[in-house]
Amino acid sequence: MARVTVSLPGSPYPVMIGAGALTELPALLEHLEATAVAVMTDRTVESLWAATIRERLEAAGLATALWAMEPGEGAKSLGGLERALAFLEQAGIDRGGVVLALGGGTVGDLAGFAAAVWLRGVRWLGVPTTLLAMVDSSVGGKTGINTALTKNAVGAFWQPSAVLADLDLLRTLPEPDYLAAFGEVVKYAVAMDAGLAEILERDASALARRALAALEPVIARCVELKAGVVAVDEREGGRRALLNYGHTVGHALEAASGWRAAHGRAVALGMQAEARIALGLGLCRPGLTRRQTALLTAFGLPGPLPDVDVGAVLAAVPRDKKRRGGIVRWVMPRELGQAEVGWEVPEEVVAEAVGEVLSASSLGTLPG
């Protein structure tokens, strides 16, 4: 089992990655001196894994309550937060209690935010059940909900006490959801680690079929990369924005689709658009865009996306959370494994790139 420490001053926490990581849960809760556990999940995950989690918790003598939200981004709303807080109140969670987020990114975002604001902050644990959550949202403490227009616009930085990424939980993850997560994995490779890109190129087939020997080190490397950035920029004041490569267009696509676009696929398309922007501005070479395209194609990305209007996507871009003074600050790839934060891009360049990749995606192709 791999173990990565997120080394935040005063509140470091472990991320345990591997098949069987859940066996660590009772000892972890004993170490935290938990008085009770409130499990938040969604209805899909509830039917698959809730009984297993409850059995482990009750065997450890812990008072356990469980609440399942509706699956999907729609749960991340003010109404969803209100229901989550009502559950914590009814469950009698005090400051000795622990919230356990069992699910994908939506569950983690909402449960983590509820933990952040209940009693002005109680502890929480992440038990991600999707590959996307394991490599991305479960680490770093960004929690929150959506508004009608903007993804994750309301939230808090609230770090978990630990994350247990048990690869056994991926057995029940549908194939499209599993492959979509590689949008975030490829993001790390292109923006931060050329060595990871080489591993993905070499092991694409094994990763696609969920071979644990190939998967565990890739997940661990993604977590290491994110942990390193979070440790020096917890609240996204600078370098942490690097993790948003592909997300300016990706989040705009999600918003324009009414949150129907899968996040990993939206990020993959966003990376294609943003690489095209960088190429057009002379910030990278054509070889980078071709190699990124090959990496994404190896995992079938971006793959199926809802039909969206180009104008609606472009209208959503200015709402990007990296904007300063009303100006979007783009993350631009410079070479494989290196991206830079803070670029200003003319609107006409953005429009051309977004239109091109959306058109190509609708035809089932990717511009190289």
- DSSP letters spanning 43-69: HHHIIIIIHHHHHHHHHTT-EEEEEEE
List pLDDT tens digits, range 238-268.
Answer: 889 999 999 999 999 999 999 999 999 999 9
User: Cis omega (within 30 of 0) on the bond before 302?
Assistant: yes
* Alpha carbons 117 and 51: distance in angstroms, whole number: 27
State the pTM of this model: 0.94
The mean per-residue pLDDT over the stretch 290-319 comes to 94
* Alpha carbons 327 and 1: distance in angstroms, whole number: 44
- Asked whether the predicted pLDDT for residue 326 surpasses 90, the reply is no
Residue 171: how many CB atoms within 10 A of its CB?
Answer: 9
pLDDT at 325: 74
Question: Sign of the C-alpha dihedral, residues 222, 227, 233, 237?
Answer: positive
In this prediction, residue 236 has a pLDDT band, given cuts at 50, 70 and 90, of: confident
In this prediction, residue 362 has a pLDDT band, given cuts at 50, 70 and 90, of: low
* Alpha carbons 173 and 131: distance in angstroms, whole number: 8
pLDDT at 367: 54
Q: Are 147 and 153 in contact (CB under 8 A)?
A: yes
* Alpha carbons 84 and 315: distance in angstroms, whole number: 32
pLDDT at 110: 98
In this prediction, residue 327 has a pLDDT band, given cuts at 50, 70 and 90, of: confident
- Asked whether the predicted pLDDT for residue 365 surpasses 60, the reply is no
Percent of the chain residues topping a pLDDT of 70: 98
List pLDDT tens digits, range 172-228.
Answer: 999 999 999 999 999 999 999 999 999 999 999 999 999 999 999 999 999 999 999
Q: Are 162 and 127 in contact (CB under 8 A)?
A: no
In this prediction, residue 323 has a pLDDT band, given cuts at 50, 70 and 90, of: confident
Residue 3 pairs in a beta bridge with 16
Residue 145 pairs in a beta bridge with 154
pLDDT at 364: 53
User: CA triplet 50, 53, 58: central angle to 5 degrees?
Assistant: 120
The mean per-residue pLDDT over the stretch 56-76 comes to 94
* Alpha carbons 339 and 168: distance in angstroms, whole number: 33
Q: Are 302 and 265 in contact (CB under 8 A)?
A: yes
The mean per-residue pLDDT over the stretch 281-307 comes to 95
Give the domain ranges of the chain.
2-172, 175-362
Q: Are 159 and 11 in contact (CB under 8 A)?
A: yes
pLDDT at 10: 84
- Asked whether the predicted pLDDT for residue 321 surpasses 80, the reply is no
Span 2-172: which CATH code? 3.40.50.1970
The answer to whether domain 175-362 has CATH 3.40.50.1220 is no
Query: For all residues of the chain together, what is the average pLDDT?
Result: 94
List pLDDT tens digits, range 3-47.
Answer: 999 999 888 999 999 999 999 999 999 999 999 999 999 999 999
